[in-house]
């Protein structure tokens, strides 16, 4: 149901005063994709209806070239990420630190502007501007990730039932698809509520999330190869039996999927007022199409890392396109009588694999391409990072199907990554921050011949599963979207069609 024009105008005015859609790099971006988004200190309080209207706009059913990470619908992760920093009273250093959030020190921007709040902290004052349909007060964050994309219009406040480690079941008050907003993403919902504390699992008063389940009767759906399917009853039990502040229990990679690089489904342009500060950020936007770097038979690929919770170098500082070699290498091998092992380590270097060559170009699904990257760089803070890789031919590319991504090998000098509860660069002594990612060896799954993706696009009362038709429908909806009301800010004068 399309909301009334007056409701949209009031919402637009409210969003303007909360600086939600400030998309100018370098200026004080307030909201940004949550978690960790949300948050100018100004602005009035939204009504329940305004929050719901905005949530419905975020939850439009637009899935375009979105990956299937398994042959069956399942929950791949569902553990508590961090506590207490969503819905702080104000975004200043003292208030955030009082809530045991972190605040980065000595951040200067090469453009001379004051640092955007988002590069200083992952705490947020509010999350309704990211489509979470709630007001938050010192809430904790819980991403729940599925093997198939979520049908966003079926997201509702009670969709996920959480079992806490003390046995109590509850339904967190905030749920949304942000920051997994791109049309080829949308596999994770993020929930905010009171679900834990920072005591170690060995402490009798420790509280964290033990299991998550899609609530029976909630109508929550995923989309697979044959269309939408009910996800009710899908369950995930916390495999470690520990919380995010216990060592070894940081965010982890669930899948590493290798596809040909494509721009289809990149972008978050609907709703038009969502922050665009980190977009475009796909492999083509950052590095272009394949450019014969490894010869005329070569190809450019996207190795998509799909992980359980935001991954940044310290919990706040953005992951940057040039960061591959800090955290990862690829371990490949060939066997023509003698097994040969190849460590693919440095971006821009060619590695011989079998009879051909491969090269890591750089990372994508970060933020925008820039001439240089400083501490004020912002990314999309979601559940995906792409390694862009060139191969000299398809046969050599396919050899990566028996390779692994070696991630966060701190034992070999590589650095881990943190979810938004991480320590920043200036942690307060005595405060406990969420744990780093454990080191992992993740098998690469090949999707070069069969891309294993789906499209399900419902706009203006019409539904299609054809990527070309969906792309056209999106372009039309974007063309009809309201004009920019202020530099860098689009306003929702005419809403994009609400979900069917
Ligand atoms: C927002 O939350 C309210 C109150 O729980 C609920 O009635 C409404 O359906 C929700 N809207 C959306 C789009 O989830
Ligand atoms: C912050 O952490 C300290 C040290 O663990 C603890 O004593 C304090 O209660 C925490 N404050 C909040 C608001 O959680
Ligand atoms: C478990 O913890 C939650 C959150 O603190 C609390 O509301 C609930 O009553 C507790 N349950 C039990 C059985 O102690
Ligand atoms: C091809 O693109 C990569 C990534 O942008 C770049 O490093 C390389 O110099 C380019 N090579 C050629 C031959 O243009
Ligand atoms: C910030 O700068 C001050 C002054 O140079 C220095 O004492 C402090 O250690 C720095 N903090 C961090 C986290 O770099």
Over residues 203-228, the pLDDT tens digits come to 999 999 999 999 999 999 999 999 99
Distance from residue 314's CA to the centre of ligand 1 (Å): 34
Question: Cβ atoms within 10 A of the Cβ of 445, count?
Answer: 16
Query: Are 33 and 186 within 8 A, CB to CB?
Result: no
Structure-block tokens of residue 385: 């990072």
Q: Could you tell me if the CB of 344 is within 6 A of ligand 1?
A: no
Query: Are 369 and 337 within 8 A, CB to CB?
Result: no
| Pocket test residue of 293, 387, 392 for ligand 4, highest count of atoms within 8 A of CB | 293
Q: ∠ at Cα 64 (58, 69), nearest 5°?
A: 100
The residue behind tokens 């590095």 is 287
| Pocket test residue of 56, 58, 133 for ligand 1, highest count of atoms within 8 A of CB | 133
Q: Where are the strands (E) in 20-159, listed by range?
A: 62-67, 75-77, 82-86, 139-146
- Which helix or strand (DSSP H or E) is residue 176 part of? strand 174-176
Distance from residue 125's CA to the centre of ligand 1 (Å): 20
pLDDT at 35: 38
Q: Which atom of ligand 3 is nearest to the CA of 166?
A: 1
The 3-state DSSP class for residue 123 equals coil
The set of protein residues with a Cβ atom below 6 angstroms from ligand 2 is 84, 99-100, 430-432
pTM: 0.93
pLDDT at 499: 30
Supply the residue whose CA is at minimum distance from atom 12 of ligand 2. Answer: 99
For the chain, which ranges sit under pLDDT 70?
A: 1-4, 19-43, 482-500
pLDDT at 270: 79
pLDDT at 23: 30
Supply the residue whose CA is at minimum distance from atom 9 of ligand 4. Answer: 293
Distance from residue 388's CA to the centre of ligand 4 (Å): 12
Supply the residue whose CA is at minimum distance from atom 3 of ligand 5. Answer: 106
Helices (H), 59-175: 93-98
What is the rounded CA–CA span in Å between residue 35 and residue 178?
A: 7
pLDDT at 14: 80
Query: Are 351 and 330 within 8 A, CB to CB?
Result: no
What is the rounded CA–CA span in Å between residue 26 and residue 4?
A: 34
Q: Could you tell me if the CB of 279 is within 6 A of ligand 4?
A: no
What is the rounded CA–CA span in Å between residue 103 and residue 93?
A: 6
Distance from residue 347's CA to the centre of ligand 4 (Å): 11
């Amino acid at each position: 149901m399309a909301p009334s024009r007056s409701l949209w105008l009031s919402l637009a005015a409210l969003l303007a005063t909360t600086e939600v859609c400030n998309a100018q790099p370098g200026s004080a971006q307030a909201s940004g994709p949550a978690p960790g988004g949300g948050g100018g200190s100004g602005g009035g309080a939204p009504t329940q209806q305004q929050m719901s209207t905005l949530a419905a706009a975020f939850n439009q059913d637009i899935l375009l070239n979105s990956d299937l990470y398994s042959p069956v619908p399942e929950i791949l992760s569902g553990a508590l990420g961090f506590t207490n920093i969503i819905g702080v009273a104000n975004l200043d250093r003292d208030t955030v630190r009082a809530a045991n959030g972190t605040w980065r020190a000595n951040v200067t921007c090469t453009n001379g502007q004051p640092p955007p709040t988002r590069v200083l902290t992952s705490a947020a004052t509010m999350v309704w501007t990211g489509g979470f349909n709630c007001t938050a007060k010192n809430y904790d964050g819980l991403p729940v990730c599925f093997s198939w994309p979520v049908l966003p219009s079926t997201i509702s406040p009670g969709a996920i039932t959480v079992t806490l480690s003390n046995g109590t079941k509850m339904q967190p008050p905030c749920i949304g698809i942000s920051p997994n907003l791109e049309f080829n993403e949308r596999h994770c919902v993020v929930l905010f509520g009171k679900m834990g504390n920072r005591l170690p699992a060995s402490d009798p008063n420790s509280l964290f999330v033990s299991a998550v389940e899609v609530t029976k009767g909630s109508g929550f759906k995923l989309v697979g190869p044959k269309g939408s399917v009910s996800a009710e009853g899908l369950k995930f039990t916390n495999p470690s039996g520990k919380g995010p502040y216990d060592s070894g229990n940081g965010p982890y990679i669930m899948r590493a999927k290798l596809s040909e690089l494509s721009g289809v489904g990149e972008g978050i342009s609907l709703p038009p007022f969502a922050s665009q500060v980190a977009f475009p950020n796909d492999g083509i936007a950052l590095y272009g199409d394949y450019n014969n770097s490894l010869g005329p038979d070569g190809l450019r690929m996207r190795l998509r890392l799909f992980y359980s919770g935001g991954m940044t170098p310290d919990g706040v500082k953005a992951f940057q396109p040039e960061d591959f070699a800090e955290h990862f290498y690829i371990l490949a091998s060939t066997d023509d009588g003698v097994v040969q092992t190849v460590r693919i380590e440095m971006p821009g270097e060619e590695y011989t694999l079998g009879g051909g060559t491969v090269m890591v170009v750089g990372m994508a699904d970060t933020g925008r391409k820039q001439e240089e990257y400083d501490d004020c760089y912002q990314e999309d803070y979601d559940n995906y990072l792409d390694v862009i890789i060139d191969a000299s031919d398809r046969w050599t590319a396919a050899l990566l199907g028996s390779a692994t991504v070696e991630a966060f090998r701190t034992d070999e000098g590589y650095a881990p990554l943190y979810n938004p509860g991480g320590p920043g660069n200036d942690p307060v002594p005595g405060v406990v921050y969420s744990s780093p990612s454990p080191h992992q060896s993740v098998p690469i799954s090949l999707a070069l011949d069969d891309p294993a993706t789906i499209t399900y696009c419902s706009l203006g009362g019409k539904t299609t599963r054809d990527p070309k038709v969906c792309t056209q429908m999106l372009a039309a909806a974007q063309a009809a979207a309201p004009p920019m009301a202020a530099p860098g800010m689009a306003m929702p004068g005419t809403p994009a069609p609400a979900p069917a």
